[in-house]
Amino acid sequence: MSDCLFCKIMNGDIPGEKVYDDDNVFAFKDVNPQAPTHILICPKKHMSTILDMDTEDEAVIGSIFSVANTLATEMGLEKSGFRLVLNCGSGAGQSVFHVHFHMLAGRPMKWPPG
Ligand code: 5GP
Ligand code: ZN
């Protein structure tokens, strides 16, 4: 989608610190990290929220968990743990309307989230 910030980062039109890239999934560092590790993992297909998902998108959302697994292993987060967060809608804190998971690690995490 031409006016989507994350589509522009994935296309290289806007700079981003890429950490993972394949045919369907793209991951990059959050510009305003909320933890020592803060990565955004996105399907390449533009979907504004998971409410736009179709059954054909189940595979790519599943792949995101595999990518998180790969990144966690690469970064040595198996023991310390990490959190995957998806905000759906502005009421839940979503500010960029291209589906993405936040991968957060490197500090103690509280529950429930604010
Ligand atoms: P949301 O609030 O939609 O769940 O998360 C959006 C995230 O995108 C925020 O954590 C925010 O810091 C991040 N973000 C916003 N603009 C940019 C940008 O231009 N580059 C990068 N790398 N992250 C961004
Ligand atoms: Zn997009």
| Helix, strand, or coil (residue 85) | strand
Sequence spans of domains, the chain: 5-105
Closest alpha carbon to 77 in 41, 43, 38: 38
Ligand 1, pocket-test mutation among 32, 42, 85, most atoms within 8 A of CB: 32
Residue 1 has pLDDT above 80, yes or no: no
CATH code of domain 5-105? 3.30.428.10
5 has a pLDDT exceeding 80:
yes
46 is catalytic: no
pLDDT at 2: 82
Active-site residue identified among 38, 46, 98, 100:
100
